[in-house]
A = this chain, B = another copy of it.
């Protein structure tokens, strides 16, 4: 064991679930962390919103409600940002980086919108900006993509990256209950927040998709460029129908390299999709996350684990913290942002997708003929059809082969205008198939 270097001062911003665990591990595992880093980590302060609130496991004297003053202290070398959101996290991180302090953040919304600015500040001031915890909690995804696959060409990243929606969809699949009932249950169990919008409307997953697409394709993709659909429209009937096609329904974040008329583009999209039951992502249930990667040489990889929660997310934060601290001791630096490829983001219209369309139809002869005509007109080939029920309950379900999403959605729009189609009750995409 080498002689240890001078202590490294750490500031933690935010003491929610993750912050509390980070402080706990910093305290309990101090000796191990010191041995791994080559210098002791010393907690200089923890910024909290409410100083009067009871906090366990931390010396009251370390608490402050002035995060900017904490970040700017001379004896702070590393800043851990766990506030979430853009304000004031962005300013605090910029101040840290500009002050020559490396930053570890779990802030997906911020990284999905401002990674360019933040990475530039890190580069200009020769410090690290690590954000493994921003995507898929404890599961190492950022580091494998930026480092392990640094010599490969990633073609696709598809993942279940939001635990709340995966819990809801898994419960719906298993219990047969409807969305509203399961959402309420998720709230009671602590899997869904009081305002679940960010999760159930796919905003959280879209931020993660933006981060994954950026690093996988060495380009810059922001959350607003990610096509996003939530799960609020998914019904128990959709799960019944999915089962008939040997599928389940998952909210997927998909980042793909696609060819649009000879030009390479990135597709980044989040939507609930039918996934075949024998696909590895179909078996990822509850609050678990998984990310599947397809690379030219590595082939198919999958990473699986806990995507949220205090301790798992703290594990990812601590991993980054140890690497940033080691870089400080050994004068090294982590990988910089890599956006050299500069690939444009494709519109969802340009993306080849498969559709599942469920409609209430008039119980008369020739409906299938008319419906299939609308698909054929736009060059879309049909993979499977089911006709169910009769009379007022007659339903027609169509699953297509791959075609541009524009052609698919145009067809759905046309179907909605047909007299014999009483109602298009559900439209979902089908993912995880090769054809």
What residues make up the interface of A, taking CB atoms closer than 8 Å to B?
Answer: 1, 21, 25, 29, 32-33, 35-36, 132, 138-140, 143-144, 147-153, 218, 280, 283, 295-306, 311-312, 314-323, 326-327, 330-335, 338, 340-341
Q: Is the CB of A340 within 8 A of B302?
A: no
Q: Contacts of A334 on B, CB cut-off 8 Å?
A: 332
Q: Is the CB of A323 within 8 A of B150?
A: yes
Q: Closest approach, in angstroms, between the C-beta of A314 and any C-beta of chain B?
A: 6
Q: Is the CB of A147 within 8 A of B152?
A: no
- Residue among B143, B150, B283, B332 making CB contact with A144, cutoff 8 Å: B143
Q: Contacts of A132 on B, CB cut-off 8 Å?
A: 148
Q: Contacts of A144 on B, CB cut-off 8 Å?
A: 140, 143-144
Q: Is the CB of B306 within 8 A of A280?
A: no
Q: Contacts of A150 on B, CB cut-off 8 Å?
A: 36, 318-319, 322-323, 326
A280, A297, A320 interface centre (most CB from chain B within 10 Å): A297
- The distance in angstroms between the C-alpha atoms of A304 and B294, with both chains bound, is 12
Q: Contacts of A218 on B, CB cut-off 8 Å?
A: 35-36
Q: Is the CB of B301 within 8 A of A151?
A: no
Q: Contacts of A322 on B, CB cut-off 8 Å?
A: 147, 150-151
A29, A140, A316, A317 interface centre (most CB from chain B within 10 Å): A140
Q: Is the CB of B319 within 8 A of A147?
A: yes
Q: Contacts of A153 on B, CB cut-off 8 Å?
A: 29, 32
Given contact pairs A148-B132, A150-B319, A299 touches B306 in the complex (Cβ within 8 A)? yes
- The distance in angstroms between the C-alpha atoms of A45 and B328, with both chains bound, is 36
- The distance in angstroms between the C-alpha atoms of A144 and B149, with both chains bound, is 12
Q: Is the CB of B138 within 8 A of A315?
A: no
A-B contact pairs, 24 of them (CB 8 A): A21-B297, A25-B297, A29-B153, A32-B153, A35-B218, A35-B338, A138-B295, A140-B140, A140-B147, A147-B147, A147-B323, A148-B319, A151-B315, A151-B320, A152-B319, A283-B283, A295-B315, A296-B311, A297-B314, A298-B315, A299-B306, A303-B303, A327-B332, A332-B333
Q: Is the CB of A299 within 8 A of B304?
A: no
Q: Is the CB of B298 within 8 A of A312?
A: yes
- The distance in angstroms between the C-alpha atoms of A25 and B316, with both chains bound, is 31
- Residue among B140, B295, B301, B317 making CB contact with A301, cutoff 8 Å: B140
Q: Is the CB of A298 within 8 A of B302?
A: no
Instruction: Return the chain B residue nearest A143 by Cβ.
Output: B148
Given contact pairs A148-B132, A150-B319, A138 touches B338 in the complex (Cβ within 8 A)? no
Q: Contacts of A35 on B, CB cut-off 8 Å?
A: 218, 338, 340-341
Given contact pairs A35-B218, A297-B138, A333-B332, A148 touches B316 in the complex (Cβ within 8 A)? yes
- The distance in angstroms between the C-alpha atoms of A148 and B330, with both chains bound, is 18
